[in-house]
């Protein structure tokens, strides 16, 4: 532990002797204590409390993005549970000594009772059966027999099923530690039997500080901006960041002068921040030629067009955050923060949102394009054109205040009157029939109980069931027939009777009125069992 509170894992080794294999930084500085885990304080506190109170789960699931320390945490838990202390008399502890035989053997990967399995290459049920059989036997020399299964989501369905019973009721001497980057692929039956820890992405400022101490321990120098670039590129992964740092140190070793920001930017293929600010200035000024020239200069230097648009998106996002008042990113250079603040003060929220949408669409096009640089140029020209358009909100305000003259309606060319839309249930049924969709027209007559008909909107009752695809088919037919997009909604209101129900009620009322006439009533009374065979509906009389 140094004076800044960073535990750099194992002490830095001397330069490798001749014939000795070089250990990459990601392995050399793998955390050997819980204190060395960066950004996982909540998990460490929970584990520490569980160990102190002897409330240890029998299975742990560690999930998170690559390189945040899932496998390292699993090994640390194995050490914490099996540590016996320097005197051999200690018990489980959140601060394993690192000196006893169990701690050393686990750190070196040679402890017989700590078994690691890569589920990506051992996916079958037979591999799990071996674990189940072996788990019945007590640990050889450790307090607990521990199984560490990496990328557990790769196990087959049958393998998971075979593991369930043992996972739910394992022997007292067995602990399972699972690690995965895709927790959504782990069956819920397994998740419910594990204590889950979500390892967080490591913040960029903490990664940059950690890399600074690693560089110092390695005897090199590095510019703070270079380390900030590496921390951003790592995307929350300590392992990825250390791998990039390893490459940057090797690059600096050839050129001298330590790890420089421009060298890291070139190595990562990132756009130069100054060049991006110049390009963004051309875009806001509506200078298409200047924007294209700036883009081509970066392209000629080897910068990928996707990287240019990605950096512009980051800039727009940064301006928006500044405008809403979020705290500044400590990993950002001072001049970049000043530029973002200055732009944020000049640009409105609607314009920032428009820039974001245009750049995002351009980035998607460049990703798919056969000609990436040409697609990038076209995307930037769209941004230039959009920057010259008036802001809709400001334009509306000027119109309200009389600052913009709107041409009178009489000056506009007369438009032909649109045909009236069907506004009754009968008219709608006839309109559907005109499209030739007779089955749909019949369904309208039999099932539709309108709550409201206000063209081009119809609200249908679902108090009695209607076919699930009926509203969509009705909307399509009316659009074809009228050329207007209709909105069909449903509600549980009772609605009016369907056309068929209305016709049936009218028929019954008409027949009742015929039967009640004096002549018909007298005839039916004089001849019991007689039937009325004449017209029974008003429609049959027309």
Phi, psi for 523 (deg, rounded to 5): -65, -45
Report the Cα 249 to chain-centroid distance in Å. 34
Of 200, 190, 141, the C-alpha closest to 166 is 190
Task: Return the residue matching tokens 């140029």.
Answer: 377
Contact 495, 502 (CB under 8 A): no
**Domain locations along the chain:** 40-198, 204-268, 273-393, 425-496, 500-541
Integer CA distances (angstroms), 32 to 51, 288, 324, in order: 18, 55, 41
- pLDDT (0 to 100) of residue 364: 92
- The two tokens of residue 255 are 């050129």
What's the pLDDT tens digit per position in 344-366?
Answer: 888 888 888 888 999 999 999 99
pLDDT reported for residue 390 = 60
In sequence order, what are the residues at sequence separation of 6 or more whose Cβ sits closer than 8 angstroms to the Cβ of residue 484? 421, 455, 456, 478
Model confidence over 10-58: pLDDT tens digits? 444 455 555 556 788 888 888 888 888 887 888 888 888 888 888 888 8
When mean pLDDT is compared across 327-336, 391-400, 440-449, the lowest value belongs to: 391-400
pTM for the complete prediction? 0.56
What pLDDT score was predicted for residue 434?
A: 85
Q: Band of the pLDDT at 396, cuts 50, 70, 90?
A: low
pLDDT digits (tens, 9 = 90+) for 54-103: 888 889 999 988 888 888 889 999 999 999 988 888 888 888 988 899 99
Q: Taking the CB of residue 258, how many other CB atoms lie within 10 A of it?
A: 16
CA distance 270 to 312: 11
What pLDDT does 359 receive?
A: 92
User: Identical fold at 204-268 and 273-393?
Assistant: no
Q: What tens digit of pLDDT does each residue of 212-245 get? A: 989 888 888 888 888 888 888 888 888 888 988 8
Going from the C-alpha of 126 to that of each of 146, 158, 180, the distances in angstroms are: 19, 10, 21
For residue 9, pLDDT beyond 70: no
Choice among 31-35, 263-267, 302-306 with the minimum mean pLDDT: 263-267
As a whole number, mean pLDDT of residues 128-148 equals 89
Q: Is the pLDDT of residue 378 over 90?
A: yes
The CB-side HSE value for 175 (13 A sphere, CA atoms) comes to: 22
Residue 409 confidence (pLDDT): 43
Mean pLDDT of the chain: 82
Q: Is 16 exposed, middle or buried (0-12, 13-18, 19+ CB in 10 A)?
A: exposed
- Count Cβ atoms within 10 A of the Cβ of residue 310 and give its class: 0-12 exposed, 13-18 middle, 19 or more buried: middle
Measured from the Cβ of residue 512, the count of other Cβ atoms closer than 10 Å reads 9
Secondary structure (H, E, C), 153-209: HHCCHHHHHHHHHHHHCCCCCEEEEEEECCHHHCCHHHHCCCEEEECCCCCHHHHHH
Query: What's the pLDDT score for residue 375?
Result: 92
The predicted pLDDT at position 253 comes to 61
For the segment(s) 425-496, the CATH number from 3.30.750, 3.30.300, 3.30.470, 1.10.10 is 3.30.300
In this structure, which CATH number among 1.10.10.10, 3.20.20.300, 1.10.8.60, 2.40.50.100 belongs to the domain 204-268? Answer: 1.10.8.60
Which position has the higher pLDDT, 509 or 287? 287
Model confidence at 148, pLDDT cuts 50, 70, 90, reads very high
Structural contact between residues 41 and 199, judged by C-beta atoms closer than 8 angstroms: no
Residue 534 pLDDT grade (very low, low, confident, very high; cuts 50, 70, 90): low
Q: What is the pLDDT of residue 257?
A: 64
Share of the chain above pLDDT 70, in %: 85
Of 257 and 174, the structure prediction assigns the larger pLDDT to 174
- Asked if the model's pLDDT at residue 209 lies above 80, the reply is yes
β-sheet with 487-491: strand ranges across:
450-454, 457-461, 487-491
What pLDDT shows up at residue 374? Answer: 92
pLDDT at 401: 61
Tokens of 221: 């120098």
CATH fold label, 40-198: Rossmann fold (3.40.50)
Helix (H, G, I), strand (E, B) or coil at 532: coil
% of the chain residues with pLDDT over 90: 12
Q: Measured between alpha carbons, how far is 149 from 155 in angstroms, rounded to an integer?
A: 10
Residue whose C-alpha is closest to residue 354's, from 394, 327, 326: 394
pLDDT reported for residue 3: 40
User: What's the pLDDT at 230?
Assistant: 87
Q: How far is CA 313 from the centre of its chain?
A: 17
Fold designation for 273-393: Zinc Finger, Delta Prime; domain 3 (1.20.272)
Predicted pLDDT at 412: 44
Per-residue pLDDT at 4: 42
Per DSSP, the three-state class of 83 is coil
Q: What is the DSSP string of 104-130?
A: HHHHTT--TTEEEEETTT--SHHHHHH
Distance CA 312, CA 295 (A): 12
* pLDDT tens string 160-196: 999 888 888 888 899 999 999 889 999 999 999 898 9
């Amino acid at each position: 532990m140094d004076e800044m509170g960073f535990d750099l894992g194992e002490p830095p080794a001397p330069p490798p002797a001749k014939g000795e294999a070089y250990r990459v930084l990601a392995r050399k500085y793998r955390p050997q204590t819980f204190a060395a885990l960066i950004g996982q304080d909540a998990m460490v506190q929970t584990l520490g409390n569980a160990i102190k109170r002897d409330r240890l789960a029998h299975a742990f699931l560690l999930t998170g993005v690559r390189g945040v320390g899932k496998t390292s945490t699993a090994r640390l838990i194995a050490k914490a549970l099996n540590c016996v202390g320097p005197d051999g008399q200690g018990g489980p502890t959140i601060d394993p000594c690192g000196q006893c035989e169990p701690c050393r053997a686990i750190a070196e990967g040679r402890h017989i009772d700590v078994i690691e399995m890569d589920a990506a290459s051992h996916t079958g049920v037979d591999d799990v059966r071996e674990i189940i059989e072996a788990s019945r036997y007590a640990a050889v020399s450790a307090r607990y027999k521990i199984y560490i299964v990496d990328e557990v989501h790769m196990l087959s369905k049958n393998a998971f099923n075979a593991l369930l019973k043992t996972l739910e009721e394992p022997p007292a001497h067995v602990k399972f530690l699972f690690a995965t980057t895709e927790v959504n692929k782990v069956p819920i039956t397994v998740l419910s039997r594990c204590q889950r820890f979500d390892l967080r992405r490591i913040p960029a400022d903490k990664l940059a500080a950690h890399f600074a101490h690693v560089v110092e321990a390695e005897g090199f120098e590095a510019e703070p901006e270079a380390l900030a670039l590496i921390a951003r590129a790592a995307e929350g992964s300590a392992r990825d960041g250390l791998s990039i740092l390893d490459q940057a140190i090797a690059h600096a070793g050839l050129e001298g002068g330590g790890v420089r920001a421009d060298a890291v930017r070139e190595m990562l293929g990132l756009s130069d921040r100054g060049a991006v600010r110049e390009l963004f200035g051309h875009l806001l000024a509506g200078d298409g030629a200047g924007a294209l020239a700036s883009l081509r200069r970066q392209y000629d230097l080897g910068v990928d067009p996707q990287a240019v648009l990605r950096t512009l998106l980051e800039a727009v996002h940064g301006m928006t955050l500044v405008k809403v008042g979020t705290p500044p990113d400590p990993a950002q250079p001072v001049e970049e923060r000043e530029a973002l603040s200055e732009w944020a003060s000049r640009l409105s929220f609607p314009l920032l949102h428009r820039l974001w949408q245009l750049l995002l669409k351009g980035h998607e096009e460049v990703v798919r394009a056969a000609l990436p640089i040409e697609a990038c140029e076209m995307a930037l020209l769209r941004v230039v054109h959009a920057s010259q358009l008036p802001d809709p909100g400001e334009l509306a305000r000027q119109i309200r205040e009389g600052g913009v003259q709107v041409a009178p309606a009489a000056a506009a060319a007369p438009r032909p009157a649109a045909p009236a839309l069907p506004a009754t249930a009968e008219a709608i049924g006839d309109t559907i029939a005109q499209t030739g969709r007779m089955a749909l027209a019949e369904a309208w007559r039999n099932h539709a109980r309108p709550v409201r008909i206000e063209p081009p909107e119809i609200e249908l009752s679902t108090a009695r069931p209607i076919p699930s695809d009926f509203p969509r088919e009705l909307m399509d037919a009316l659009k074809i027939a009228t050329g207007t997009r209709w909105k069909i909604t449903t509600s549980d209101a009772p609605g009016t009777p369907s056309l068929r129900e209305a016709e049936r009620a009218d028929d019954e009322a008409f027949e009742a009125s015929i039967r009640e006439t004096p002549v018909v009533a007298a005839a039916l009374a004089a001849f019991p069992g007689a039937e009325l065979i004449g017209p029974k509906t008003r429609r049959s009389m027309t």
